[in-house]
Amino acid sequence: MADNHGNTPAAWTGVTVAMAGFVVGGVALMLSPVSMTLFWVGVALGLVSLPVFAIMTKLGMGSH
């Protein structure tokens, strides 16, 4: 197991982008007329977090 236990810029950025996606999607579902457009924006943010993490890890900002 790595000494940093996932405390890398790549991990933090990936989790932050995914969290933003969940918040946006959750807010969209709580609006009075449910905003499906905003919901899908949240889903897209969640999916974008995976390549963001992978790219940052390949750039050397992840665990070695």
Q: Cβ contacts of residue 41 below 8 Å, gap of 6+?
A: 24, 25, 28
Q: Give this prediction's pTM.
A: 0.86
pLDDT of residue 35: 95
Q: Is 50 a member of any domain?
A: no
pLDDT of residue 4: 66
pLDDT of residue 16: 96
Pair 46, 32: CB distance under 8 Å:
no
Q: Is 27 a member of any domain?
A: yes
Q: Is 36 a member of any domain?
A: no
Mean pLDDT by 10 residues, the chain (64 residues): 75 96 97 96 97 94 80
Q: Is 2 a member of any domain?
A: no
Q: Is 21 a member of any domain?
A: yes
* Structural domain for 14, as ranges: 7-31
Q: Is 53 a member of any domain?
A: no
pLDDT of residue 49: 96
Distance, in Å, from the CA atom of 47 to the CA atom of 2, rounded to the nearest integer, reads: 25
The total domain count for the chain is: 1
